[in-house]
Amino acid sequence: MKKILWSFLEVVETLVIAVVAVFLVRNFIAQPFLVSGSSMEPSFSDGNYLLIDELTYRFRPPERGEVVVFRYPLDRRAFYIKRVIGLPGERVVIENGEVSVMKDGEELDLKEAYLPVDVTRGSFDVTLSGSEYFVMGDNRNFSFDSRSWGSLSGEDIVGVVRFRLWPVNEAMAFTAPAY
């Protein structure tokens, strides 16, 4: 009888450790994210299953070109995925299909090699405050992003996309493109 009780306690202990470990990882280190919609095509498609790194931004701010998941500023229950284009203190100008980013009055060399040619339409001009980011989808003509609802507060950013897990034939790790 003691042996059965001891085995039962070991199973319970293992389950408690597993539940605590999953809770800690899911809430503080990484979490899954399912892409819904086409705003990030061709980089990510509807139905892609991603792994979001929530730990990195506790140690450093987001960098230009990183794909981030964030709480939509006008409805914090909704989560969006977009690419960081403008960083705090920079000026973002969209004119004639070109995206320009200025830092300290100097235009940065913004090469968006991950995009097809001439995909950005409309006009926009904004200077970001010390805690704001400008984000856009890669499918610029079909993306509801900072051009529509304004800049994104750094507090709303949940994490950075690190891996695509699904579909399996497209599984891969992601890093920010070099500008």
Catalytic residues: 39, 82
Q: What backbone torsions phi and psi does residue 62 show, to the nearest 5 degrees?
A: -60, 150
Sheet order of strands, 98-103 included: 106-107, 98-103, 91-95, 124-127
State both tokens at 102. 């200025």
CA 91 to CA 134: how far, in whole Å? 9
Spatial separation of the C-alpha atoms in residues 60 and 122, rounded to whole Å:
32
| Phi, psi values for residue 135, rounded to 5° | -125, 145
SS3 169: helix
Adjacent-strand bridge partners of 80: 70
Residue with tokens 């299909």: 97
Q: Which two tokens stand for residue 130?
A: 């010390």
